Amino acid sequence: MTTQVTDHKGGVWSIAVPIPDNPLGHTLVHLLEADRGPVLIDTGWDDPDSWDTLVAGVTACGFDLTDLHGVLITHHHPDHHGLSAKVREASGAWIAMHAADTAVVRRTREAEPGQWLDYLLTKLAAAGAPDDHLAPLRKARATGGGRKLPGRRAALPDRGIDPGALLDLPGRRVRAIWTPGHTPGHVCLHLEEEHPSARTPGFGRLFSGDHLLPGITPHIGLYEAPDDGLDAHEGESLREGTDPLGDYLDSLERVGRLAPAEVLPAHQHAFADAGGRVRALIAHHEERLARLRALLQEPRTVWQLAETMEWNRPWEQIPYGSRNIAVSEAEAHLRRLVKLGHAEGVPGSDPVTYRAVG
């Protein structure tokens, strides 16, 4: 096992923790030295190899696992939050997360497996998914499947991360920046300290989680909440519900105004020019919304819209599970168009079809 550890200077390290069977390759778990002991920012996927790599990485940074004082979670996804419980058990460290994502973790832990399958079935049927796509979910529901859904063992945090607050990390100045979009409770963490390289323009360093990545556009789908009713079951819900893409675009602008000297993301590599990356991502989504609006000159269901959108491969080559993610992303973009008054549901259509307005 090779452990990839990078010293970013100034008491900041990154550990590349592998994600099994995933093209992303790894999560960059950051270690931040502080007066009461080091703090981890995210933990990685709950997998034996990932755990061994994380432990070896902490050691390579010059610490023992028992030295860890706390864990700051940027968001609840399993490649970030997965090992939190094991870290807490081994070290006694606290775990902190934004309240909105803590609520997701609690719902995931408490929901019956069949409840999630029912949610997916109804949601996908309402989106216009064909019977051959729904059949495996119906079979899993009938045979009691769904008990191994990711996140069901995720730890409940001990404390919250309050937006705009300076965190209780003596010896360091870290401010929480709430950046919803990828998840409802995603946070970036701004290290409000001079960059070790005084020649680097901008102020401080930003631990950006999945919000701001150098070469990847993070997935923006619906905020899943099976116990709160179904997002897409009725045509009106797209206008009245949450707007993850709108949240994400607003959050991007907020991060751009911070103008950090360097961004330390959870995937790929550290980079400068946060403002340039923010502008590129905003332009990408504006272009995508314009293409969707053009597609909706012909009324389409959410599923039909997803089939005709541009992805990183042709629709017929997208794996089954990834199609569900693509439908969620299509619906998030559609919801944005509806919010802006650029699209609407066709009255009386079942499943609901949508058309461009204006």
Q: What pLDDT was estimated at residue 119?
A: 85
pLDDT in tens, 120-159: 899 999 999 999 999 999 998 888 765 555 555 678 999 9
Q: How far is CA 195 from CA 6, 10, 204, in A?
A: 16, 8, 5
**Nearest-angstrom CA–CA distance, 231 and 240:** 10
With a cut of 50, list the residues of the chain below it in pLDDT: 228-240
Distance CA 76, CA 109 (A): 12
| Structure tokens belonging to residue 352 | 């609901």
* pLDDT confidence of residue 234: 34
Fill in the amino acid letter for 330: A
Question: What's the CA gap between 345 and 337, in Å, rounded?
Answer: 11
The 10 Å CB-count burial string (b at 16+, else e) for 248-273 is bbebbeebbebebbbbbbbbeebbbb
**pLDDT value for 200:** 72
Which domains does the chain carry? Answer: 4-108+154-272 (3.60.15.10), 112-148+278-356 (1.10.10.10)
Residue type at 265 in one-letter notation: P
The side-by-side arrangement of strands in the sheet containing 205-209 is 174-178, 187-191, 205-209, 262-265
CB 294 within 8 A of CB 55: no
Which three-class secondary structure string do you get for the chain?
CCCCEEECCCCEEEEEEECCCCCCCEEEEEEECCCCCCEEECCCCCCHHHHHHHHHHHHHCCCCHHHCCEEECCCCCHHHHCCHHHHHHHHCCEEEECHHHHHHHHHHHHCCHHHHHHHHHHHHHHCCCCHHHHHHHHHHHHCCCCCCCCCCCCCCCCEECCCCCECCCCCCCEEEEECCCCCCCCEEEEECCCCCCCCCCCCCEEEEECCCCCCCCCCCCCCCCHHHCCCCCCCCHHHHCCCHHHHHHHHHHHHHHHCCCEEEECCCCCECCHHHHHHHHHHHHHHHHHHHHHHCCCCECHHHHHHHCCCCCCHHHCCHHHHHHHHHHHHHHHHHHHHCCCEEECCCCCCCCEEECC
The label of the residue with tokens 């997208």 reads 318
Look up residue 77 and give its amino acid.
H
**CA-to-CA distance for 80 and 65, rounded, in angstroms?**
18
What pairing do the DSSP bridges indicate for beta strands 70-72 and 39-41? parallel
Q: Supply the pLDDT for residue 74.
A: 98
Report the candidate in 114, 116, 115, 137 with the shortest Cα–Cα distance to residue 125. Answer: 137
> What is the structure's pLDDT at 239?
36
The CA–CA distances, whole Å, from 175 to 22, 32, 277 equal 31, 13, 21
